[in-house]
Chains A and B, each alone.
Chain A
Amino acid sequence: MTDTAVAPPHGGAAATEVADAPRASNGKRPRERSRRSLNETIAAYSFFGPNLVVIGMFLLVPVVWAIVISLQTTDGFGSGEFVGAENYQTLVNDADFWRATFNTVLFTAIIVPVSLAIGLGLAVLLNSVLPARPVLRTIIIVPMVISGVATGLMGEMVFDQNTGIVNRFLEAVGVGAVSWQSEGGPAFATVVLVTLWWRIGFNMVIYLAGLQSIGPHLYEAARIDGAGAWAQFRNITVPMLGPSTFFLLIMNVIYSLKVFDIVYVLTGGGPGNSTSVLVTYAYETGFVVRNQGYAAAIGIVLLVLTLLFTAAQWKLSRTRDLVE
């Protein structure tokens, strides 16, 4: 295709190139090309070299080091003792680990689809003719700029079961107070609700950008063909947002698997272990108990889970590169 696109209409120049080719193969052109190629290679490395160094220092080395630590018994002071896969074998029979894993997966399974759906819905609404759109967009995006710790603290005040505004409201409308902080189910719900409030702004912004890149002619053609609003949404909007959805899916899954700050501040993993997640468990193991080898093993399991999901999504997604 590319050859066709650059070929002159009558093939003259192309013929000249072909005629010159033997000379080029043993003349000075290959050297020039080789030199140019070398220069390009050097330029390329000089551009991404600094990134490679940073990624190596702050990503690859720590990951490799974490793998090494996960094969040791160590409290971090002095050299650890190599124990092979013992930490991973212990994980298999650790009920607290499985509880934290279950909570993490459940949290991810709820947060990812719900936050994507709400983000998409809000983006569609705010992409339409709606009064005070800039104000509404700002209100939805604001939580994005607040730190997770501050968000958790606000959530704690809002869902305080004795003095929080949510219970006051529920009592005022006759529903009755909910034990947000002393029962497992409601406590898990507070983590989900606060996280949704925090995350949907980000999803909405990405979807909004995706929506604004879809050409209006597609919808116009669909309308001419008699497609209704739902059919347009299902057959044009959703497929054309494939790259946005792919990006958000990966980002939201990664965020959900490594959730820490909101849980730590809002519920501390309790009541009981009902909101304990993998990272809060790894934190307690590594920094409270100081069993850093075991904590590193939990971290590596989390890394493997994340990589597996990302690889599967990469393989299975059919619309991640879809453009008009």
Chain B
Amino acid sequence: MSRPRRLSSIQQSQKLPRPGTSGWSRREVLGLFGGVGATAFVAGCGGFGGSGDDAVEGQITFTTWGTDAELEGFERTIAGWSDANPGASVRLNAVPFAQMFENIDAQLQSNTAPDIFRVDYDNLGTYAGRGQLLDMSSFFDDAFGERFSEAMWQAVKFDGNPYGVPHHTDTSLILYNTRMMTEAGITDIPTTLDTAWSWDEFEDVAATLRGQLPDDQYPFAYNWQASGVTRWLSWLFQSDGRFLAEDLVTPAIDSDAGRAAVDFTKSFFDKQFVPPNSSTKATTFANEFWYAETTAMTFAGAFLLPDANEVLDWEWGATYSPQNVRGGGDLGGNALVATANTEQGELAASFLRYATEQEPMRDFCAASSLLPTRRDLIESGIDLQARPELGRFFLEQATTVQPSDAEQIASASMAEINLVLSDELEQAFVGGQSTDDTLANIAAGIAEATER
């Protein structure tokens, strides 16, 4: 086999033919084609210096979705890793998010999956629980996990073993329209995590806005639409509740904390704090209401900053999510994982280690407006390229995610549980379903999902 060279561009990789049934192995063919025309591209990318690993050689395939900034960030990471490991390369395949997991499922089923792929924490447990991911225990030493915050390292574990690396995270907080808040007389907005609004204070703010705004405008929108329904769990975590017991199988949502979370969020619709068409099954996303000035506030992740910065021509700011018994946030962001059938485990592990080194992670997160998972970067902070002064709000908000929250979200049945949450919360919010029935139905749905 000819020695594979460096990264080929995304465009090149998308045009490459899929290997057929010749006598060549899939990886031989990929290696041969993957090297074509790659060197010139990499020469222009530069890198981040050595990875500190023993140098490895060979080529791995990597499938991801991403914004332009994210894809460019991945390309710089790949170039840096290739510089540190002459003879090692990555064939990057960028696909639209809408097709990502249907494609990965089909490739896993037909044994044509890439060596590594990007996956959100909700889905990581789904794949790990079905034996589709490579257990990285034998590739990472015991100290490796210490580079990450405890919650983020927990988020890539399944049955106590790591099945990938937490590449970046994101969490939601409140973005507000300064003019609409000021006109409603709300000027005392928290600027530190420990002074974040309590649920009662947040309700007062919403009630004040409701009293000031016309009928077709609303105090806020919450970003639980479509696959964002997991973000509802922040309210449960803020009440110090769980949806899965410690065995990660038994439903635990039918509790006082669960009741408080459903009651409080249900009241958003009853009191017209949120647009009636912003429920969990709505097709209009929370930020769109805020962009259109239909709402004064929205809950949003850091990933939205570049877009908001570019689109909005009015003044806006950020503050923390409300707190109840404790602070809590959603576990956004994505991990990088290797597939169970990869023949390049060592090479994949080397790339995953490199991608979570300090400089590659800082570069990727700053450029993509995402949050780091490394302890050192969380402590030192990073300068997001869009609205850098708001970065600290998101970083501090991310610290409210507890390892126990992450552990539940990364459980094997999270995809099914999300669907149960979406259906039942929709019924509670706009279908008139009682809190007790909602909790009982969610608990039954979770039990069915975890039994499957």
**Interface of A with B (CB < 8 Å)?**
75-78, 156, 160-163, 177, 179-182, 265-273, 284, 287-291
Question: B271 within 8 Å of A by Cβ?
Answer: no
Question: B298 within 8 Å of A by Cβ?
Answer: no
Question: Which residues from chain B contact A284 at a C-beta distance below 8 Å?
Answer: 419
CB-defined interface of B416-435 with A at 8 Å, one 1/0 digit per residue?
10110001001100110000
Question: B216, A77: Cβ atoms under 8 Å?
Answer: no
Min CB distance A65 to B, Å, is 12
Question: Which residues from chain A contact B294 at a C-beta distance below 8 Å?
Answer: 162-163
Question: B130 within 8 Å of A by Cβ?
Answer: yes
Question: Which residues from chain B contact A271 at a C-beta distance below 8 Å?
Answer: 277, 279, 281-282, 426, 430-431
Question: B14 within 8 Å of A by Cβ?
Answer: no
Question: B284 within 8 Å of A by Cβ?
Answer: yes
Min CB distance B343 to A, Å, is 19
**Contacts A/B (CB < 8 Å), 21 sampled:** A77-B131, A156-B283, A156-B284, A160-B277, A160-B284, A162-B289, A162-B292, A177-B216, A179-B277, A181-B276, A181-B283, A265-B283, A269-B281, A270-B281, A271-B430, A272-B431, A273-B423, A289-B415, A289-B449, A290-B105, A290-B126
Residue of B with least CB distance to A272: B431
Question: B275, A162: Cβ atoms under 8 Å?
Answer: yes
Residue of A with least CB distance to B217: A162
CA distance in complex: A103, B105 (Å): 30
Question: Which residues from chain B contact A163 at a C-beta distance below 8 Å?
Answer: 292, 294
Question: B109, A76: Cβ atoms under 8 Å?
Answer: yes
Min CB distance B388 to A, Å, is 31
Min CB distance B122 to A, Å, is 11
CB-defined interface of B271-312 with A at 8 Å, one 1/0 digit per residue?
000011101011110000100101000000000000000000
Question: B226 within 8 Å of A by Cβ?
Answer: yes
Task: Name the one of B126, B131, B275, B281 contacting A268, with C-beta atoms under 8 angstroms.
Answer: B281
Question: B276, A289: Cβ atoms under 8 Å?
Answer: no
Question: Which residues from chain B contact A291 at a C-beta distance below 8 Å?
Answer: 452
Q: State which residues 235-279 of B face A: CB under 8 Å.
A: 275-277, 279
Most chain B CB atoms below 10 A, which of A75, A78, A181, A267: A181
The 7 closest A-B pairs by CB, nearest first: A270-B281, A181-B277, A182-B276, A182-B277, A272-B431, A77-B130, A162-B294
Question: B377 within 8 Å of A by Cβ?
Answer: no
Question: Which residues from chain A contact B284 at a C-beta distance below 8 Å?
Answer: 156, 160, 181
Question: B132 within 8 Å of A by Cβ?
Answer: yes
* Sample of 15 more A-B contacts, CB < 8 Å, known A76-B105, A291-B452: A77-B109, A77-B132, A78-B131, A156-B283, A160-B284, A162-B289, A177-B216, A179-B277, A182-B282, A269-B281, A271-B430, A272-B426, A272-B430, A287-B102, A289-B416
- Assuming the contacts A163-B292, A287-B102, A291-B452, asked whether A270 and B109 have C-beta atoms less than 8 A apart, the reply is no
Interface class of chain A by DSSP:
loop
Question: Which residues from chain A contact B289 at a C-beta distance below 8 Å?
Answer: 162
Question: Which residues from chain B contact A75 at a C-beta distance below 8 Å?
Answer: 130
Question: B108 within 8 Å of A by Cβ?
Answer: yes
Min CB distance B424 to A, Å, is 11
Most chain A CB atoms below 10 A, which of B282, B416, B430, B431: B430
Question: Which residues from chain B contact A290 at a C-beta distance below 8 Å?
Answer: 105, 126, 415-416
Question: B279, A182: Cβ atoms under 8 Å?
Answer: yes
Question: Which residues from chain B contact A180 at a C-beta distance below 8 Å?
Answer: 277
Min CB distance B120 to A, Å, is 13
CA distance in complex: A271, B283 (Å): 10
Q: State which residues 292-335 of B face A: CB under 8 Å.
A: 292, 294
Question: A266, B283: Cβ atoms under 8 Å?
Answer: yes
Residue of A with least CB distance to B281: A270
Question: Which residues from chain B contact A161 at a C-beta distance below 8 Å?
Answer: 276-277
Question: A267, B283: Cβ atoms under 8 Å?
Answer: yes
Question: Which residues from chain A contact B415 at a C-beta distance below 8 Å?
Answer: 288-290
Min CB distance A12 to B, Å, is 65
CA distance in complex: A76, B281 (Å): 26
Question: Which residues from chain A contact B130 at a C-beta distance below 8 Å?
Answer: 75, 77-78
CA distance in complex: A209, B351 (Å): 62
Question: B226, A162: Cβ atoms under 8 Å?
Answer: no
Question: Which residues from chain B contact A288 at a C-beta distance below 8 Å?
Answer: 415-416, 418-419
CA distance in complex: A288, B413 (Å): 11
CA distance in complex: A271, B279 (Å): 8
Residue of B with least CB distance to A265: B283
Question: Which residues from chain A contact B431 at a C-beta distance below 8 Å?
Answer: 271-272
Question: Which residues from chain B contact A77 at a C-beta distance below 8 Å?
Answer: 105, 108-109, 130-132
Residue of B with least CB distance to A76: B109
CA distance in complex: A75, B294 (Å): 41
CA distance in complex: A160, B277 (Å): 9
Q: State which residues 123-170 of B face A: CB under 8 Å.
A: 126, 130-132
Min CB distance A310 to B, Å, is 29
- Assuming the contacts A284-B419, A287-B105, asked whether A270 and B126 have C-beta atoms less than 8 A apart, the reply is no
